[in-house]
Structure 1
């Protein structure tokens, strides 16, 4: 198909789609859990990118307002699918770690890399200071909604007790309501930190038809579901064979796998001196995870018989607090440079090293 050939030629990560058939071979030929895990993880990268590409094209056909809603809904579809598979497998600690990892990954790694690359290429870059301030307030509110249940739960009951589950469900309702208000704001103003502006501008030709984009979205989603099953199925074996903790896999590896394509877009637009859009991508994705994906998982996990509570361990709370505070301080002045980007990445690397050395 012409649009797939063009995408394969223009997207440097598209060749990784070859990992999909290799993962299938590894599974049926029994190459071992490490090979199955690695090939599944690699194969998920282009699949997540195809979901993003299809969403962008659909946004062009539906217009900026509906497109914003599509981006808000499908922006983290790949990671949502991975976490749902993990919930079904009972790997709730992995799911909580991936929520934390997605938020700090976007705020520290993605925004840091974008500011570093954009600063080296363009020097000082600017973005809307007032909008950055609004984003920071929403981020702080979102993180507080995740932190408060963890702090109060110790006085309510054990994790999984009726009181703690009720607290998680109540907080999830409030978070979803706030997310809904953000979507309403996006529909009325066509601009919201919760609904990222479409990357493909309306006057550009999308490169594929509406039907083709829907088919691409469906095929990529099925690919993510299949590879997620393979990936999650080998988590326990991989942690034993490689000596990695499930916590490290969730907080570092899973978020990177599900968001590599979006990360590259944020860096590319910063390199082209569109820093405001780059910051918007990073912060919007963090808000979507905190206000939409996390509470949605609480409800879905209850329906799946493996209730997930919004109770995070102290290490996750420290990481969330550090990520939000330093990213807010960096973005409040509406300016960025390569040194600030390096500082954000340094914090991420320090946290990553700490999580790597943390025993499972």
Structure 2
């Protein structure tokens, strides 16, 4: 995590670059490099606050701010009318967490340990919930291909809002399930015994400051997407489904890999699958609701995104079924991710 601190130098550099009108490609790279450490600091501040708020409130804060960076980036992209980028980033985050992050975690942990175990019961709950969430995204897409176009125009927006409300309600219920009625299921997940390094006021101030700076950087990042993709011939779809999730979740991804290397596979699994769950059940509905303030965004994903999502979630359920992992499973997940990334690149 210390290496992320050095990347903070790109925050002032990117701001200077914005005022000096650097090329879109340069601004895209600078703002991306600035967002990565800010996301890490936001996560660290949230973790510090959890020491003072207690495990239940802390868990909710981690769930809420876990994908805050991607939420902020998606908000500015949505405001700019880049709806394809927004939806691609949602799908890409789920795919990246399940295949890239989980695969890298299993590989790194498997290099050090012959096999690793995790809380099968809690991960099965999360992976089953993830399967439901993907079904929630799939049904509206099927609806668009089966309903007449004239009916679609009048029901399109209402369908997205209804599905978003249902998914958000399920998200709230899942929090109640994990923190209250069935918290014993998650008791086996190891927790770091540590004391806070920051005061509560400092943690809150850092969280607010990091959030504001991520907002500034995200606006510059999104503003550079269209001209940058035109300049170098890269599709906005590839940027949304591959680059945005990696940039937004870099700090969280590194944490999962480190935890797996320390033989804390429970934590790594929960980060990968839990983050995917939050993206669909929390971030997606919130974006749908926010889009009503300007241009309503549909919840309809294209065929490529849906196939990739469904396959990724099926893989997640398969991996979670035995409660064990090894380096070969990690290689297999990474291989599937690379195949998908290359395919998305040439689309």
Hey, what's the Cα distance between the residues in 2 that align with 1:324 and 1:44? 28
Q: Tell me, yes or no, if the aligned pair for 1:56 and 1:199 is still in contact at 8 Å.
A: no
Residue deviations 1:86-108, cap 9 Å, x none?
11101000000000000001000
Residues 1:189 and 1:56: Cα distance change in structure 2 (over 3 Å): farther
Which aligned pairs between 1:166-205 and structure 2 lie closer than 5 A? 166-189=158-181, 191=183, 201=192, 203-205=193-195
Choose which of 1, 5, 8 in structure 2 pairs with 1:14.
Answer: 5
Which aligned pairs between 1:36-51 and structure 2 lie closer than 5 A? 36-51=27-42
Which digits, 9 at most, give the CA deviation of each residue in 1:316-346, with x for residues without a partner? 0111011111121122110000000110111
Q: Does 1:153 align with 2:171?
A: no
Structure 1 pair 249–199 and aligned structure 2 pair: CA distance change class (3 A): farther
Paired with 1:168 and 1:302, the residues of 2 have a C-alpha distance of 11
Structure-2 residue corresponding to 1:110: 101
Pairwise mapping of residues 237-276 of structure 1 onto structure 2 (< 5 A)? Answer: 237-276=227-266
**Hey, what does 2:154 align to over in structure 1?**
162
Matched, 1:56 2:47: yes
TM-score with structure 1 setting the length = 0.92
Residue 271 of structure 2 is aligned with which of 263, 271, 281? 281
1:353 aligned onto 2:342 = yes
Write the distance in 2 (CA, Å) between the matches of 1:235 and 1:96.
Answer: 15
Residue of structure 1 in register with 2:320 after alignment = 331
Q: C-alpha deviations, 1:141-189, integer Å up to 9, x for none?
A: 0100011101112233559823011111111111011001011123315
Which moves more between the two structures, 22-31 or 313-322? 22-31
Give the direction of change, closer, same or farther, for the CA distance of 1:47–1:292 in structure 2 (3 Å limit): same
Q: Is the 8 A contact 2:98 2:272 kept in 1?
A: yes
Name which of structure 1's ranges 324-333 and 107-116 shifts more when overlaid on structure 2: 324-333
User: In structure 2, how many angstroms separate the alpha carbons of the residues matched to 1:118 and 1:208?
Assistant: 30
| SS across alignment from 1:12 | helix
The superposition leaves residues 77-128 of structure 1 with CA deviations (integer Å, 9 ceiling, x where unpaired) of: 1110000001110100000000000000100000010000001111100012
Aligned residues: CA RMSD: 2.0
Partner of 2:15: 24
**1:196, distance to aligned residue in structure 2 (A):** 12
Query: What 5-or-longer segments of structure 2 have no aligned partner?
Result: none
Task: Provide the aligned length of Structure 1 versus Structure 2.
Answer: 346
**Structure 1: unaligned runs, 5 residues or longer:** 1-9
| TM-score, normalised relative to structure 2 | 0.95
Distance of aligned partners of 1:228 and 1:160 in 2 relative to their CA distance in 1, 3 Å threshold: farther
Correspondent of 2:119 among 128, 143, 164: 128
Q: Distance in 2 between matches of 1:236 and 1:122?
A: 44
What residue in structure 2 maps to residue 213 of structure 1? Answer: 203
1:312 alignment partner in structure 2:
301
Structure 1 residue 315: deviation in Å? 0.4
1:342 aligns with: 331
- Cα distance in 2 between the residues matched to 1:280 and 1:227: 28
* Matched-pair contact (CA < 8 Å) for 2:190–2:266: no
